[in-house]
Amino acid sequence: MGEDRWLCTLMVQSGWRIEYCAAAENSTYCPEDFDEFFKQRRRWVVSTLANLALLVKEWSTISRLNHRVSVVFLLYQVVHLFATLIGPSSIILVVTGGLTYAWSINPTISVILQVVVMVLFALVCLTSSSKTQLNAAKFLSVLYTIVMAAVMVGTAVEVAKEMSKTDDAPFIDPSFPISTTTLYLAIVVGIFLLTGMMHPSEFYCLLHGFWFFLCIPAGYLILMIYSICNITDQSWGTREVKDSSVRVMPKNSQDRLIAVFKKVFFCCFTKMETRLIESQTEAGTRRSMRLDSVSESLVPTADTKTASSSIRRMSYVNEAFDAVDDEHVGFSNTEEDDEQFFDWKGVPVEQWLGRDFKAYDSVVKKFKDNGFENTTFISKMTETELKDIGIKSTGQKHFLMEKIKKLPDFEVVVTVPKDVNSWLNTIGLLMYKDNFKQEQITSSKDMEVLKTFTRSKIELELKITKIGHIKRLMHAIAKLRNPIR
């Protein structure tokens, strides 16, 4: 829960120095939907508050152990903590000021109404399920976004009146002729302008400040309440492995229409159809169990030749780490398909390609030399990968891609393996067991170090150079889970 902030706090406490680098660039994967965004920020908000409070509380100890920490830094932390705590009330005042000018709503009524709504939302967060909380947060976010559009106009009018020094401008005090709304807006705009000037090449990003303004209540009011109310939630929220091992394929309009009719006319569901669904579910369970209980005697023989000319072009295998968490294996509907395609060792490339394929011998050799010796390795290949292993003909690439699309994905099960041999056996790479043994990677505990392995480390230390095998190994490493003890 905010482990990076916690690590920085511990480092500062121990005398380390953390410096700001304006030229640094960061690349990450951001949340793509509302639920994921709120769950991620739920952890970040409370971790920020906890670390700020700890720094302020332990200030005397930190300053004694770390001479680089100055009083200015302490004041910055105090201001940051204070601003975070009063953020929700500041948003309520900003919205109230804007509504007063936009719709002439009484400020007292506006404040009371918003406080009541937020108290009700807090009760929802404390008593209901996560899904209900997020649905309520979505509703309030949309509602506040609409209100903020009016607030934007009202705020502009308010600032204009203050600048023209009209008599009806809502000043905080006659001796301080600036309203709360204008003061807050000036501080926020000033911070972003200062940041933009420090990063001139990205100054254009400030144009998105319009959307930021509309979503201020969602981020600084609704999210704050959601985070505090869920402070005891220890789940990551965005990193849990989905229970189902079956990919939910997108439905077309016909399937959706049939589903609606089945819900309306549920009495027409026959016992035979129900039994069919149950048998398909059991078949999927048996298939999943077979993936976990494979025999070493079934390990396919691998060609040990390398493909150094293609390795230098295979940067795409690094994407395996990023994509695996959202992928799930898709199962077919019949036992015949189950026996044909879901045998973990797959169909050899020679049998899959067929003798009638033009340039059969050379294409088979290219597949095997690059580690795509059976359909479990071939199933997730892309057109770029075909090109990288030496398939240049447009017609051949099109033909092969059509065949590849028909193959079911080979999915590595998320698990804590017993040892490296059983794990390699499960993913079809047992031929490399001696390579792992040579690097002193044999037990489940030893395998924790694999999380640090990059493609270059795999090539240099494990002596694995085939594109398909490296891709499979990186895919499997991403699914590894460390033992608790």
Say yes or no: 468 and 431 in one domain.
Answer: yes
Provide the domain count of the chain.
3
Residue that terminates a domain, selected from 176, 196, 229: 229
Q: Is residue 283 part of a domain?
A: no
Q: Give this prediction's pTM.
A: 0.46
Say yes or no: 380 and 469 in one domain.
Answer: yes
Say yes or no: 136 and 38 in one domain.
Answer: no
Q: Is residue 382 part of a domain?
A: yes
Token readout for 410 is: 């080979």
Q: What is the pLDDT of residue 302?
A: 41
- 338-397: per-residue pLDDT in tens? 333 334 567 888 888 887 887 788 888 888 899 888 888 888 888 888 888 888 888 888
Q: Which of 436, 437, 418 is nearest to 426 (CA)?
A: 418
Least confident of 206-220, 229-243, 353-367: 229-243
Domain that holds residue 45: 3-85
Long-range contacts of 80-87 (CB under 8 A, 24+ apart): 80/52, 81/49, 81/52, 81/53, 81/56, 84/48, 84/49, 84/52, 85/49, 87/220, 87/221, 87/224
| Residue 414 reports pLDDT greater than 90 | no
Contact present, 51 and 58 (Cβ < 8 Å): no
Q: What is the pLDDT of residue 391?
A: 87
What is the mean pLDDT of the segment spanning 245-268? 58
Residue that terminates a domain, selected from 85, 120, 136: 85
Say yes or no: 313 and 452 in one domain.
Answer: yes
Q: Is residue 258 part of a domain?
A: no
